Amino acid sequence: MSLIEKLQWRAAVKKFDPTKKITAQQLDNLLSAVQLAPSSLGLQSFKVIVVQDAETKEKLRAAGYNQPQITDSAALFVFASLTKLDEDFGKRYIDLVAATRSVERESLEGFEQMILGTLNSRTDEQKIAWSHKQTYIALGVLLSAAADMGIDAGPMEGFDPDKFDEILGLKEKGLTTSVIAAVGYRAHDDVYSKMIKVRRPKEELFIHI
């Protein structure tokens, strides 16, 4: 299948087959895809909690409007934004760039000032809102990578973020939930994935100038 055919195949599955698990290798490939997602300034100001524990998934389902995807999928990806994006966070990123590319930290001075300037020019709320946007890019990459691997992934915003934060102990970790995705395999009788995809026509969606 071409990429476009795979994107036609993918669907926001509502009914997963709870008996079908993904392998450790498949999971690792999905993590690699998320890891490789681009982010503004490269900062990756988020973490992803991968929930496979049945008991935790039950609790999250109750906080997720009882959506069955949360418990029946093989793994639940919880994208969470960092809540503290201070100068130290920016400086530690520069440390990582220097170490990864084996360059002198001093040569990154201009880049560091740009990052610190960006962080310092925003309020905490603005920085968290900005981080939430980054998680959606990673979510998009996850959905596309899963489709490429023939794995189902259902994005969800239908949950109570405060309750998710509480169940997963995210506040103490300096995190807050952004968006989630159930990953696994569709049940043979999942209705939604059999429906014809509804998309706006290209003439309406795109403006060529």
Whether 48 and 78 have beta carbons less than 8 Å apart is answered as yes
Of residues 83 and 144, the one with the C-beta less far from ligand FMN: 144
C-alpha angle 65-149-79 in degrees, rounded to nearest 5: 40
- Closest residue (Cβ) to ligand FMN? 158
Question: What gap in Å lies between CA 114 and CA 100, rounded to an integer?
Answer: 19
CB-based contacts of 147, cutoff 8 Å, min separation 6: 6, 7, 9, 10, 153
Check binding of 62 to ligand FMN (CB under 6 A): no
Query: Of 34, 147, 153, 179, which one interacts with ligand FMN (CB under 6 A)?
Result: 179
Asked if residue 170 binds ligand FMN (CB under 6 A), the reply is no
- Contact region for ligand FMN (CB under 6 A) — 8-16, 20-28, 48-56, 115-123? 8-16
The answer to whether residue 194 forms part of the interface with ligand FMN (CB under 6 A) is no
Q: Is 155 in the site for ligand FMN (CB under 6 A)?
A: yes
197 scored as a contact of ligand FMN (CB under 6 A):
yes
Can you state the angle between helices 24-35 and 124-148, rounded to 10 degrees? 130
Of the candidate spans 19-27, 55-63, 98-106, 153-161, the one that interacts with ligand FMN by CB under 6 A turns out to be 153-161
Nearest Cα neighbor of 61 from 201, 187, 180 is: 180
Count of alpha carbons within 13 Å of 46, Cβ hemisphere only?
Answer: 32
| 12 sits near ligand FMN (criterion: CB under 6 A) | yes
Among residues 6, 11, 29, 111, the one that binds ligand FMN under rule CB under 6 A = 11
The residue range among 7-15, 54-62, 90-98, 160-168 that interacts with ligand FMN, by the rule CB under 6 A, is 7-15
Of 76, 80, 96, the residue nearest 45 (C-alpha): 80
